[in-house]
Each structure stands twice: as C-alpha cells, then as structure tokens.
Structure 1
Amino acid sequence: MADLSDQIGRKADQSDWVDHAVRVGLVAYGVVHLLIGWLAIQLALGDHSGTVSSQGALHQLAGETLGLVLIWLIAIGMVLLVLWRLLELVAGHRDADGADLWRKRAADVLKMGIYGTLALSAFSVALGDKGGGSGTDTYSAQLMRLPFGVWLVGALGLAIIGYGVAQIWRGLSEKHAKHLKAEGKTGDAGSAYLLLGKIGYVAKGIAVGLVGGLFVYAAMTHDPKKSGGLDAALQQVLAQPFGPVMLGAIGLGVICYGLFCFARARHLSR
C-alpha cells in the first residue's frame, strides 16, 4: 500500500494536469479574496449593503455581468483545490515522518474543509440561493446545545485563533516564499510578490483571529449570539476608535493575499 501511495505521489508531482488544476483553483481563490477585501473597504467607507464574507462576496459577484459564469468557475476551482489537498493527504509528504507528517496531514484536512466550504457556498449561490448570512451563530448555538457544548465552542474559537496566528507567522517569517518557484521570488517582481504575501497572510491571520475571538467570547458569556463570522468580526473592528482606518487596512491586506494567490498560480511550486 505504501509503495502504491509513493507511486501515485511521484506521478502527481510530474503531472502537468495537476499543475493546471491547482493553478485554476488558486486563481479562483484569489478572486474570492479580492472581492472580500473590496467589501471590507466598502464597509470601512460607510457602505453597509454587503456582507463581508466569502458567501457575501459571491452574492456580490452574482449581480455583475458574467457573474454567474465566474461563480461556477470559482466553484469548480475550489473542487480542484479539494482534490489537490486530498491527493497530498493520501500520496504527498513522502519526505516527512513522525510529528511533521501528521502536522502536514492535519493541514491538508483543514484546507480541504476551507476549500470545500467555499465550494459549497459557490454552488449554492450559482444554483440560486438568495441568502447572505454566514450562519456561524446558528452553528455555535447548535454546538452549545450538545454536552460540554460551551467548551466545544471555546475550543473551536481557540483553534480558529491558532490558525490565524499561524497565518500571521507564515507571513512575517516569509514561509510563503516556498510556494513560489525561484523565478517567482527573485528580482523586483519577486520582491513585490513576497511583500504581497507577507501583507496578505498577516491581514488574513488578523481577520481569522478576530472570528475566533468572537467564538471564545460567546463561550465565555454562554451566548451563541456573541459569535459570528468574518462580517461580524469586522463590524466589531469598525466600532473601535480609528475603526474605519483599521478595517480599510485589513481589506487592503486581504486584497494583497488575493494578488499573491495569482502570483502563486503563475509561479507554482508544489
């Protein structure tokens, strides 16, 4: 079985088709982040008509010319990313072992969940779903009704915060550079790509960490209504002193992350 997995992994590493599929998925992922960043900036400027979330971004896109076509492409792109991470989970990380191997496999599962959730949202919007809510308050309410539900919500919040901190660390330590081939991180263009990634990962990590903070607060107050998704988290930022400035900065950072996804697609290093 191990030999079969190794054989599949080597074929995948040498496959141009896998590269093309991943590139399509990364471009789609980048588009979603550009839209989320733009919605955050609009919110900072006083426009409260849109929901700052992946689903809100998709609904915004649905109202544009050729928007439905783009949403279908995003849905397909996310499915391709799910399949890529599944391939990595089953046949990748051949040079890793022990705790490092399990850490990478856990990251594969987490990313499959993120891409899969976004794919479901895109398919839902493409098929005519008119809703725009994130539903995270409903999820936390359901969790709280379970035995030890408050602890589950708190643990989920801490896990989300941990993921956000990991994203910030990836940006500050420039670990995102490994996603680019050598030609993608050299010269003026390469320096720009790395800077986009650094800003993007930090901004994304802050936004994700804020969502986790809402879950922890909901657990501490035993009130699932205190939880929320990205839109609720950014609304909290907006309510702070200099909130519009901070929110605008986060929005620009998320746009930088989207642009880095494009750079990664162009100079893909798997």
Structure 2
Amino acid sequence: MPDPLISLRARLAALGDFGRRNSPVLRSVPPLQTLLELAARIGYGALGFVYLSAGVLTFLAATDRIRDAAGSKEATFWLAEQPFGRVWLVLLAVGLLAFVQWCVLQSVFDADHEGTRLKGLMKRGSQAGNGLFHGILAVSIFGLLHKEPVDANALETAANQDKAAMVLSLPFGDWLLIAIGLGIIAAGLSNIINGARADFTQKLSCSAEVCRRVAPLAKAGNVARGVSFVPLGIFVVLGGLHSQASEVRSFGAALDGLEAQPGGPWILAFTALGLVAFGAFSFIEARYRRIQPPRDLNPLS
C-alpha cells in the first residue's frame, strides 16, 4: 500500500510545478524552502527585538530610571505606547509567528537533525515549548491592538493570579501550583546550565573569528534568561505553599522582587545586560544561523 502522506506530497509538488510552468506570477515566487528560511530569519530578528527591549527596560529599572522591570510581554506593552505602536505590534507579532513556524519545523520535523533518541527528543521537546511560549506571546500581542495602554505589570500580575486561583480551585491545586513553580525554576536552571556548557556557535555559518566573538553573547544571554525565570518560579511555589494566588506575580514584578533582595540591584542589572546579550545574539542568528527546512516532512525522520 502506498503511503498516503507521500502520495499527497507528490500531488502537491506536481501541482506546484504545473503552476510555475503556466503562471509568470508563480514563477517569480521563491521556492517554499527559501520562504521558510526567510521566515525563520525574520522570526529570530523579532525574538531579538523582544529580548533586547526587555533587557533595556529592566536595566533602566535596576538603575532607577523607570519604575518597573520588564519581561517579554511587558516589553510589548511598552512598545504599544510608542508612536505608531500598533504598526510595530503587528510587525512584531507576525515576526514571532514566523519564529513559531521554525520551532514547529525544529520540534516536529527535526529541522536541526536532533534525532529520535532520548537526548534528541528532549531537545525537540524544548523547541516545542519555545514555540508554544512565543506563540502565546504573539497571540497576546494581537490582543493589545484592541486595548488602551495600561500598567503592564499590574495587568499581568492580575492575569497570573487569576490563573493561579483557577489552579488552586482544582483537587490538590496547591501541589499542582507548586509543581508548576518548580517546573519554571527547573526551566531556568536548565537554561543556566545549558548557557554555561553549550557551544551555541555550532549552528552558525560564519568565520571562526566571528564565532569566537559572538559566543560570549550567547552564553551570557542564555544564563541571564535562565536567571530571569527563577524569581517567577519562586513566587509561584510560594503561592502553592501558602494556597494564596496573591503570592503569584508577573514576570516583570518577579524581577522587581529580586531587586529588593540584598545585592538585588546589581543582580538585576547583570540579568538585564544578559537579556540584552540574548537579544543581540538572536540578531546574530537571524544573519548567520544555518537554517535548512526539511524537505521530507516526516515527524519520525
């Protein structure tokens, strides 16, 4: 019996070839592989803009230039308040959706050739989570198009507390909320360890000199991104331990809580610079990353 998926791909390919032969407009459209690569590069650029903005805003908060630190979502609220804010929001949301499609190609269709062994599947699971997180962020940005600018941290804190209250209302909800908080902390620690140990230049197509110069950006950025997750996870755990949804905060408000600790302003400032580094390295990836969308869309390949 022929594989229905292979048969469908063959028919679609034949239809595309027929269209290109008979339509000057379709002949001018780049091949699908080229379009997917372009979308992935645009996605990395959008990712860079989000984390660069969050890092700059958090650094300004650490140096008392503005009131609140910012996570990725709070940074989009700031963008909405700028001139032509709605235009920037649409461009950013579309860019993030382009990044999400690349995460799908990575996780589902193994564009990075991680394989199907345990380590590879864990990596692909992480890529899927990355895509889900930024997909939710993209959808929330579209939602901002219909809202007036508000206090981002207050709104996000209220939204997170509503979600925590919903979890606490479930059977064993306090334990479930603790587990969610521990999962956030584990994700942060994983980013810290990965940032310290991994070679992020392996997937870059650049000279050895350029790779050597940008490697510290990748390491500092991933470590800082991991550090930024930990305070949020701690507040979620506290919410579960005390069975109080009011303990839960937004990403930015959790970073503000970090600033209140001994040496907190210094830790927050270094975390902010690390987020800037993460954003800068995302721009490097937009330019130099080896992006080869899989030709055979087989999830088990």
TM-score of Structure 1 vs Structure 2, range by shorter chain:
0.7 to 0.9
CA distance in 2, matches of 1:263, 1:178: 13
Q: Which amino acid aligns with 1:119?
A: A
The CA deviation at 1:32 is 0.7
Q: Which runs of 5+ in 2 are unaligned?
A: 14-31, 292-301
2:138 corresponds to 1:149? no
1:190 to 2:207 alignment:
no
Q: In terms of mean alpha carbon deviation, does 31-40 or 89-98 score higher?
A: 89-98
Q: 1:232 is matched with which residue: 249, 253, 256?
A: 253
Residue identity opposite 1:99 in structure 2: L
Aligned residues: 263
| Aligned-partner Cα distance in 2 for 1:77–1:88 | 17
Report which of the two structures shows the higher radius of gyration computed on alpha carbons: 2
RMSD of Structure 2 on Structure 1 (CA): 2.5
Structure 1 residue 219 and structure 2 residue 240: aligned?
yes
Which structure features the higher share of helix residues? 1
Structure 1 match to 2:299: none
Aligned twin of 1:136: 160
CA separation in 2, counterparts of 1:79 and 1:95? 23
Structure 1 residue 48: deviation in Å?
4.5
1:246 aligned to 239, 246, 267, which one? 267
Residue in structure 2 matched with residue 36 of structure 1 by the alignment? 54
For the pair 1:204 / 2:225, whether they are aligned, the reply is: yes
Asked whether the equivalents of residues 59 and 69 of structure 2 are also in contact (C-alpha less than 8 Å), the reply is no
Alignment equivalent of 1:124, drawn from 135, 139, 143: 143
Out of 150, 156, 160, the position equivalent to 2:184 is 160
Identity of aligned residues (%): 27
Contact map agreement 1:144 1:224 (CA 8 A) in 2: yes
Distance 1:243 1:90, change over 3 A: closer
Within the candidate set 84, 88, 91, 1:66 is matched to 84
SS at match of 2:200: helix
Q: Give distance in 2, aligned partners of 1:103 and 1:2.
A: 29
User: Contact (CA 8 Å) 2:68, 2:253: kept in 1 or not?
Assistant: no
Determine whether 1:112 maps to 2:131: yes
Contact 2:203 2:290 in 1 (8 A): yes
Query: Measured at CA, do residues 89 and 171 of structure 1 come closer, stay the same or move farther in structure 2, by a change above 3 Å?
Result: closer
Q: Quick check: 1:78 aligned with 2:96?
A: yes
Contact 1:50 1:56 in 2 (8 A): no
Alpha-carbon spacing, 1:2–1:221, altered in 2? closer, same or farther (3 Å):
farther
Q: Answer yes or no: is 1:103 the counterpart of 2:122.
A: yes
Deviation at 1:269, TM superposition (A): 2.0
Once residues 62 and 123 of structure 1 are traced to their aligned partners in structure 2, the CA distance between those partners, rounded to angstroms, is 11
CA distance in 2, matches of 1:170, 1:232: 25
Q: How far did 1:228 drift?
A: 1.7
Q: Give the deviation of 1:49 after TM superposition.
A: 4.0
Structure 1 residues 166 and 3, CA gap change in structure 2 (3 angstroms): farther
Scaled by the length of structure 1, what TM-score is found? 0.88
Secondary structure in 1 matching 2:201: helix
Q: Distance in 2 between matches of 1:37 and 1:220?
A: 31
